[in-house]
Amino acid sequence: MSVRRPSRTRAGAALVMCGGVLAAAALAGPPPATAAAGDPPRLDWKSCGDAATPALQCAMLEVPLDHDRPDGRTVKIALNRLPATAPPGERQGPMLLNPGGPGISGLWMASWIPSRLPPDVAAAYDWIGFDLRGSQHSEPRMSCDPHYFDGPRPDFQVGQGTTGAWLEKAAGYVAKCTEKHSWLLPHLSTVDHVGDMESIRRALGAEKINFFGWSYGTTLGSTYAQLYPRHVRRFVLDSIVGPSVSWYDHNVLQDLQHEKRFKAFTAWVAKADGVYHLGTDPAEVEARWYAMRTRLREHPVGRIGPDEFDDTQVAGGYDVLRWPRLATVLSAYTNSGDSAPLVTAYERYAAPDPADDSFDLYNAVMCSDSKWPRDFRYWRKDQAKVNEKAPFYTYNNMWFNAGCLTWPVKAGNRTRITGRGLPPMLLFQATDDPATPYEGGLAMARALPSARLVVERGGGSHAITFAGNTCLDDLLVDYLRGGKVPSDRGLVDRTCAKNPDPAPVWVTPAPAAATRAQATALPRQFVR
């Protein structure tokens, strides 16, 4: 969901196979490692050996598997730090960073975020990147099925007769997670990760922490603020998940908003017929897109079938600057049968990486944080209604989340956010963001009375700070530098105009080697 996107059964017996609930008293796995009760968490910072950022330091933090049992088994959290360089009297403490997912590594942020800020602001904080427990460089690292998204996959569309195949595939994935990580799965909720953030604060020896989070990171930040209000200093939440919506209902909101963004894309393409030659009517462009999808089902391009094409196009909902490349993909394939732009776009935006385990942690958090329907008959009926309004994304999203049908951990309820006793926080939200729809930003502003909400009117991208909108970024800098927030004007405290949509240009595919290098320089949500 990226919050998403982190990258990414036959009915009957397959659905029952993983239907049991894991009990804490019967966890499978090797004998537990223990730490002495009451020992303070320790960090042994060492150079990361990063040639580009020599000052970057790395460490592993040992934390309780169950924060209610601090003397029990432990896991390790991977962290890095770019230390503050300002004079001691001008330093503002640690800034914890999270890019969302859940499950995307946060280690890249410790050097990247300060490089985007004025030198005095960058020098004032200790920038702390970390990977959530169970993910990426933390230990242990979940890895359920590294090839789950290998393509071409069964068509997402239920009308193609693939429901049984997808139910079996999803249930098989959950079975592998259960077999490999049954002892860990009950301890991967947002509250568990927030407990780890508190352990990081204690290990840093800080009375208060600062926090910057995109997307799912807004859930982490708001939950930490609710549970540990005395330790909150400056918190920035960008592209906001509503504080009380269930994850199932949140995904329905995503479906509806992605449909609007897809139609915004086809309208933009229609205005650029002189470049892309796909017609001047958005409906005609849309028809050509669905026709291309049908052709890819019948004749995949290597590992790219209709699902992989869907995933590639969904990337355009996260960043409007990808539209020229995606329009080039559709034009080249439709008008001349050229699939090279498609292959390049897929590799940049959607191709699975077997070394990326963010989908595993995504499931662990989503399926345990809030209750999901467990009867596929409900999903089938409800999702069909949503699909009538939002055919572009509904079944893609449904099968992405199908593991929650049989996830073996009893789901709880999301932490209620009341915002009592908190200092001013700064919220950013685009009105047309498809991944974290606008309703979530408004709901968070209501839940956090001391917060100030900044809205990018008409903005349709996800993660909107550090994306070139000076109105947004200037407000962020003022807050980080001195705690300044916009005046209280009601629910929306400041409105910024969106940046212009990109100019329609033909995007020539980059050589394959260059494409791979660019795609690995930053997490995928930043690759254009």
Decide: 446 and 473 in contact? Cβ < 8 Å. no
114 and 220, same domain (yes or no): yes
409 and 424, same domain (yes or no): no
pLDDT tens digits for range 314-340: 999 999 999 999 999 999 999 999 999
> What is the model's pLDDT at position 152?
98
342 and 394, same domain (yes or no): yes
How does DSSP assign 439-505, residue by residue? HHHHHHHHH-TT-EEEEEET---SS-TTSS-HHHHHHHHHHHHH-------SS--EEEEPPPPPP--
203 and 100, same domain (yes or no): yes
227 and 249, same domain (yes or no): no
21 within domain boundaries: no
* 189, 215, 239, 461: the active-site residue: 215
389 within domain boundaries: yes
Contacts with 25 (C-beta within 8 Å, 6 or more apart), sequence order: none
341 and 236, same domain (yes or no): no
User: What is the number of helices (H) and of strands (E) in the chain?
Assistant: 18, 10
Query: Does 138 participate in catalysis according to the annotation?
Result: no
pLDDT tens digits for range 266-302: 999 999 999 999 999 999 999 999 999 999 999 999 9
pLDDT tens digits for range 21-39: 443 333 334 334 444 445 6
What stretches in the chain show pLDDT beneath 50?
1, 4-37, 512-521
> What is the model's pLDDT at position 65?
98
* 135, 187, 462, 493: the active-site residue: 462
12 within domain boundaries: no
Diameter of the chain by CA atoms? 70
161 and 211, same domain (yes or no): no
Query: Does 311 participate in catalysis according to the annotation?
Result: no
Return the CATH number at 102.
3.40.50.1820
The domain in which residue 162 lies consists of 143-183+245-413+500-528
How many domains does the chain contain in total?
2
CA 156, 157, 162, 163: dihedral to nearest 10 degrees?
90
137 within domain boundaries: yes
225 within domain boundaries: yes
Cα 109 from Cα 378, distance rounded (Å): 40
237 and 129, same domain (yes or no): yes
214 and 287, same domain (yes or no): no
298 and 423, same domain (yes or no): no
207 within domain boundaries: yes
237 and 355, same domain (yes or no): no
128 within domain boundaries: yes
Query: Does 215 participate in catalysis according to the annotation?
Result: yes
* 131, 360, 432, 433: the active-site residue: 433
326 and 257, same domain (yes or no): yes
34 within domain boundaries: no
